Structure 1
Amino acid sequence: MFEELSAINARPSVYAEVTTPELWTDPHISGRMLAAHLDPHVDLASYRAEYREQVVAWLIDRFDIRAGRSVADFGCGPGLYTTRLARTGASVTGLDLSSRSLDHATSLASAEGLSVRYLRQDYLTYRDDARYDLIILVMRDYCALPPNGREALLRTVREHLAAGGFLVLDVDSVSAFAHVREQATYAPSLMDGFWSDQPYFGFHNTYRYEREQVSLDKFEIFEAERKRTFFNWVRYFTPEGLAGELRGAGLTDVDVLGDLTGSPYDSEAPRFAAVATTASGAR
C-alpha cells in the first residue's frame, strides 16, 4: 500500500502526459462539462453569463462583426459565443471536440434560425479552405496546451486567418501562478461524481513547476474495473512571453489587454488577453 500511495503522489515530469481531449470526449465527463458550460453563475467551463455578454459586445464593436465578416470560435463548446456572433449576420464557424456540446450548439442555432457551421474537429489539426477575419480562443484554452500544442494551434490560426485577420485569446497570468499551492487530497466520488457515474475513489495532486511557470492538477480515479489518470496542465504567461510566442508564429501587432472586454492590462490580475493580427491588420 505504501508503494502504491507513493506512486500516486509522485511528481510527473512537466508535460509527461496530456489528457485534455478526454474531458470533452468521455460520455460522462463531457456531460458534466456541458452542465458547467451552461451554468450562468460560475466561471468553470465557460465564463459567467454577464461577462460573456460584455465579451461579445466588445468583439462586435472592436472587429466590426457584421454580414460579410467571417468568424471562427476555436473550442466553441455549446455555442455561447457563436450563437451571439451569428446574430450579426456574420459567417460563423465553431470547432469543438465534444459532440455533446456541438449538439447543444446546433440546437441553439436551429431554434433561432441561424446558419452556423459546426465542426467536430481538433483545432490543432484542423485544415480546410476557410479564411477568417477573426478567430477567438476563449477561457484560456491556450494555457492548457503543451509547447508543441501551442505551436500547432498557432500554425492552424496562421493558415486560416485572412489577410489582415485577427486572433483574440486570453491566458492565465504569472500573478495567478503566485497563488498556486501544492497539495494532495483524497475523497470517495471526488468532486461530487464528476469523473464517473460509477462508484470511485479519487486522488487529486497539485504541483508547481517553477522554471516553466506551469502547474499541474493530476487526478487519479480508481473504479472497480479500471484506473484512469487525468492531467490538467496550466502555463502562466507574462505579456512578453505570450507576445513572443505569437510573433514567433508569424503574427504581428500584438496588443495586450486586461481581459476580453478590452479593459486595460493589470499586472496583478489573474488573467489577461491579447489581440494579434496578420500583415496589414492593425486596427
Structure 2
Amino acid sequence: MKSENKNLFTLLPKPAPYEASTSPFWDDAYISIGLLDAHLNPNHDAATRSLTFVEASATWIRSLVKDLDHPKLLDLGCGPGIYATYFHQQGFRVVGLDFSKRSIAYAKEQAEKKELNIVYRYQNYLDLDEKEAYDVITLIYCDYAVLSQENRLHLLKKIKQSLKPKGLFIFDVFTHQQYENEKESSTWYFSEQPGFWRNEPHMCLERHLIYEGHLHLDEYIVMDEKDNIESYRIWDQSFDEDSIKKELNAAGFNQISVYSDVCGNIYHPNSKTMGIVVSHG
C-alpha cells in the first residue's frame, strides 16, 4: 500500500530537532536482519565495538564494584547480548533490555545454548519502572544522545529510581571532537538488488544535517518500486564536560566522574567520546 501523505517532496524539508522517523527502525522486521548482522560482524564496529574493547570495558566496570559479590547489572540497549555475556563472565547477575525483537530472540537463544543465566527482555527502556533493583546500569555505545533532551531527562529519572543506594550508572556520549570537521552533505543511490533497507530494488537518499546546539542528524529516505517511502532518522547530540554534567545535575545526579571511554581511560580534551560514571547517593 502506498504511504499516505508522504512523498519525496514532503520529506525533503529539514526535519525539526528530534523529529521521529516515519516508520520503526530498530524493530523493523527486515532492517533488523542487517542490524543484527552489524552487531555480530567482528570486522567493523558500526553497531558494537570490537570484542577486545568490550572485554576491557566489562573488566573495568567490574573493578568499579569489586567489593560486591555478584552485583546485579541492567544493560540498556543490550542488542544481541554481546556486552551482557562479558558482564556475566565478570560475575554480574545480568538483565538485558532491548527494543529489537530479533536481537532479543538471538540473545535468548545464545544464552540458552551456552547455559548462561542472563535475563533478556524485549522492552523500550523509556518504560523502565523498577525501584532500587540494580547495583549498576549501563547504556553503552553513545545511545544516550539518540534520545531528545526531554526523553533523556525522563530516562535519567527512571534510572535513578532503579538504582540501589550508591549504585552506578555508566554510559558514553560523543564529544564535539567527533563532529569537528563535519559539514552537511547529501547523496543518493539506487539498488537493483536487496540491500540493508529493503528486500527489493529501492532508492535511498542519505543526508547528514547539522543543527544549532551541537545536534546532528543522519537521515535515510528510502523509496521502493511501489513508491512507498519512509524516512529513518538517527539523531545524535554531542557534549562537553560542562553540558553533560549540567544535564545530569538536572536529574539529581551530582557525583559524576568523566573518562575518555567506558574502559576507564583518562579523559583528555581531544577525545571523541566521554565515558561517564554517575553514583546514586
- Preserved CA contact (<8 Å) 2:23 2:231: no
The one-letter code of the counterpart of 2:39 is: H
Shift of 1:111: 2.3
Which residue matches 1:221? 222
2:158 is aligned with 1:133: no
Within 2, Cα distance between the matches of 1:120 and 1:220? 27
- Preserved CA contact (<8 Å) 2:206 2:218: yes
Gaps of 5+ in 1: none
Within 2, Cα distance between the matches of 1:20 and 1:7? 12
- Preserved CA contact (<8 Å) 1:74 1:137: yes
CA separation of 1:66 and 1:22: change in aligned 2, threshold 3 A:
farther
**What do the CA deviations read for 1:171-225 (whole angstroms, capped 9, x no partner)?**
010111222221110101399811111211111111111x321011111111123
- Preserved CA contact (<8 Å) 1:144 1:234: yes
What SS does the corresponding residue of 1:244 show, helix, strand or coil? helix
Within 2, Cα distance between the matches of 1:148 and 1:238? 19
The one-letter code of the counterpart of 2:56 is: Q
Within 2, Cα distance between the matches of 1:124 and 1:251? 18
Within 2, Cα distance between the matches of 1:189 and 1:181? 26
Q: Percent identity?
A: 28
Q: Which of structure 1's runs of 4+ aligned residues deviate more than 6 A?
A: none
Which range moves more in the overlay, 56-65 or 161-170?
Answer: 56-65
Which residue matches 1:105? 107
Match among 50, 74, 77 for residue 75 of structure 1: 77
- Map 1:48-59; keep pairs closer than 5 Å: 48-59=50-61
Within 2, Cα distance between the matches of 1:207 and 1:86? 39
What SS does the corresponding residue of 1:240 show, helix, strand or coil? helix
Q: TM-score, normalised by structure 2?
A: 0.91
Within 2, Cα distance between the matches of 1:120 and 1:140? 20
Which range moves more in the overlay, 59-68 or 95-104?
Answer: 59-68
Gaps of 5+ in 2: 1-6
Q: TM-score, normalised by structure 1?
A: 0.91
**What do the CA deviations read for 1:240-271 (whole angstroms, capped 9, x no partner)?**
11111112111121101010110011211211
The one-letter code of the counterpart of 2:14 is: R
The aligned length equals: 274
Which residue matches 1:31? 33
Which range moves more in the overlay, 18-27 or 236-245?
Answer: 18-27
Shift of 1:149: 1.5
Match among 88, 91, 94 for residue 93 of structure 2: 91
Which residue matches 2:187? 185
Within 2, Cα distance between the matches of 1:265 and 1:21? 38
CA separation of 1:218 and 1:138: change in aligned 2, threshold 3 A:
same
Match among 10, 13, 22 for residue 10 of structure 1: 13
The one-letter code of the counterpart of 1:14 is: P
Which residue matches 2:151? 149
Which residue matches 2:4? none
Within 2, Cα distance between the matches of 1:47 and 1:6? 37
Within 1, Cα distance between the matches of 2:152 and 2:194? 32
The one-letter code of the counterpart of 2:222 is: I
What SS does the corresponding residue of 2:167 show, helix, strand or coil? strand
Shift of 1:7: 4.9
The one-letter code of the counterpart of 1:12 is: P
What SS does the corresponding residue of 1:27 show, helix, strand or coil? coil
Match among 154, 170, 178 for residue 176 of structure 1: 178
Match among 98, 120, 123 for residue 122 of structure 2: 120
2:271 is aligned with 1:275: no
Within 2, Cα distance between the matches of 1:245 and 1:275? 14
**What do the CA deviations read for 1:115-161 (whole angstroms, capped 9, x no partner)?**
11111111111213561000010000011111111112112211100
- Preserved CA contact (<8 Å) 1:217 1:231: yes
Within 1, Cα distance between the matches of 2:271 and 2:81? 27
